[in-house]
A = this chain, B = another copy of it.
């Protein structure tokens, strides 16, 4: 029997199995291969040095998780009954991140188009990718886009792609935990998958899986508080945003002469008029290359910010309430006196610290009686994980440390200790 079968070794799932030739063709499109050049955790590698894995490996992992979920549900509930649904689910898992740009969320602050917009356009306009999807039948691409934009399509698949219990989170928690080297993100994936079932048009959890779900919710809580919103990572994101903003401004006022062509298009063109191929031509190597060029730029703010990022001389931070207008004014004056342009060198961010945000759609437990309930109603612990957040102010260490009167002033405003800080 000449059966198609690709087995890829994977550090999280041990093996990733591809039994469909068309999936393998999707994996090998330029649009998917590009994800190898976009890191899964953006700038987190500057905090956790091991976090160097890409969205490509995560996309394979989400695909594999979906494959296992479908195997289980077909055995347990007879769904997916139709090959088309199976294909939709697998393609959705593999392609869910295809619209992401480099340093994803930070990049969106400069190029204000949500990655889901690009997902749609790539699936529709990239010839290679679209060609494969078109073979799957009429409306396949349209339903796939609806699912990935959470606007419609098969409700089971939509839930498995984007909900409290989706294959995206299942893979990334395990993968990010492995690479960062923390043990927080672990939960029993096999058992969690086995606890899934279908009821009344929704993916729900059997009551016997309650504790496994609690473990998964805790994994999320820990990863969010300890890894994803780690202040050093948020500070790195701030730096990336400031570099991009300053470069944009310098380019527009003509004081910057060097900018990769692809980036110029993205940063200056009306987003609707950017061609898909131009968008896909930008990845993290484009940005890193640009940063290195800019580290030699004539503009001192831009070159300094770029060097800080490249050489990991990151901003420091304090956790405190957001400054009052008076405090802001005083901070800005002191920063300026020290030679730091306050627009680029002082920046506040509020970071969420929660793990389980209920927001309307939670995790549904199917009780033995047939009744359904929301996980947080039966789990006191999940209930305790209410949303929380923290305000942090980022700036260069030089604003705080040292013996000068301005630094003393800033320390006094921020309520932190002596010059040796």
Chain A contact residues, CB within 8 Å of chain B: 1, 7-12, 14-15, 28-30, 33-34, 36-37, 45, 48-50, 52-54, 56-57, 60, 76, 178-184, 186-188, 190-191, 194, 211, 214-215, 218, 221-222, 225-226, 260, 262, 281, 283-286, 288-289, 292, 307, 310-313, 380-381, 383-386
B289→A50 contact, CB < 8 A = no
In the bound complex, do residue A187 and residue B183 qualify as a contact, i.e. CB atoms below 8 Å apart?
yes
Q: Complex formed: what's the CA distance from A284 to B54 in Å?
A: 15
A282 CB to closest chain B CB (Å) equals 9
Q: Give the Cβ gap from A140 to chain B, nearest Cβ, in Å.
A: 23
**With A52-B54, A190-B14 as contacts: A33 and B311 at CB distance below 8 Å:** yes
User: Which of A15, A33, A187, A381 neighbours the largest number of chain B CB atoms within 10 Å of its CB?
Assistant: A381
The reply to whether A310 and B60 form a contact with Cβ atoms under 8 Å apart is no
CB distance from A177 to the nearest CB of B (A): 9
24 A-B pairs, CB-CB below 8 angstroms? A7-B194, A9-B50, A12-B181, A14-B181, A15-B191, A28-B312, A36-B45, A36-B49, A36-B52, A52-B52, A52-B54, A52-B57, A182-B188, A183-B186, A183-B188, A184-B215, A211-B225, A218-B381, A262-B292, A281-B292, A283-B288, A285-B285, A285-B286, A285-B289
| Residues of B close to A54: CB separation below 8 A | 52
Further contacts, 16 of them, CB under 8 A, given A34-B310, A285-B289:
A9-B181, A15-B191, A28-B311, A29-B311, A30-B311, A33-B311, A36-B49, A36-B52, A49-B56, A183-B186, A215-B218, A215-B222, A221-B381, A284-B285, A285-B288, A380-B386
A182–B14 alpha-carbon span in the complex (Å): 8
With a cutoff of 8 Å between Cβ atoms, the chain B residues found around residue A34 in the complex are 310
Distance in Å: Cβ of A9 to nearest Cβ of chain B? 4
* Contact in complex: A313, B49 (CB < 8 Å): no
With a CB–CB cut-off of 8 A, which chain B residues contact A50? 9-11, 53, 57
How far is A191 from B218 in the complex, measured between Cα atoms in Å?
A: 18
Report Cα–Cα, A223/B218, bound state, in Å: 14
Alpha-carbon distance A76/B7, docked complex (angstroms): 14
Q: A9-B180, A37-B288 are in contact. Are A53 and B56 (CB under 8 A)?
A: no
A356 to B284, CA, bound (A): 38
Contacts of A11 in B (CB 8 A): 50, 178-181
Bound complex: CA A53 to CA B178 (Å): 13
Q: Give Cα A37–Cα B312 distance, bound, in whole angstroms.
A: 12
- Report the nearest B residue to A225, measured CB to CB: B211
A381: which B residues are within 8 A, CB to CB?
218, 221, 381, 384-385
| Cα(A369)–Cα(B311), bound, Å | 33
Q: Tell me the complex Cα distance, A32–B36, Å.
A: 23
Residues in B neighbouring A286, C-beta threshold 8 A: 285, 289, 292
Q: Are B10 and A310 in contact (CB under 8 A)?
A: no
Give Cα distance in the complex from A281 to B8, angstroms: 34
- The residue on B at minimum CB distance from A420 is B2
Residues in chain B near residue A33, CB distance under 8 A: 310-312
Given known A-B contacts A57-B50, A215-B222, A310-B33, A181 and B28 have beta carbons under 8 A apart:
no
User: Are B380 and A28 in touch, CB under 8 angstroms?
Assistant: no
Contacting residues, chain B, for A221 (C-beta < 8 A): 381
Which residues of chain B are near A7, meaning CB under 8 Å? 194
A25 CB to nearest B CB, Å: 11
Q: Which residues of B contact A182 (CB under 8 A)?
A: 9, 188
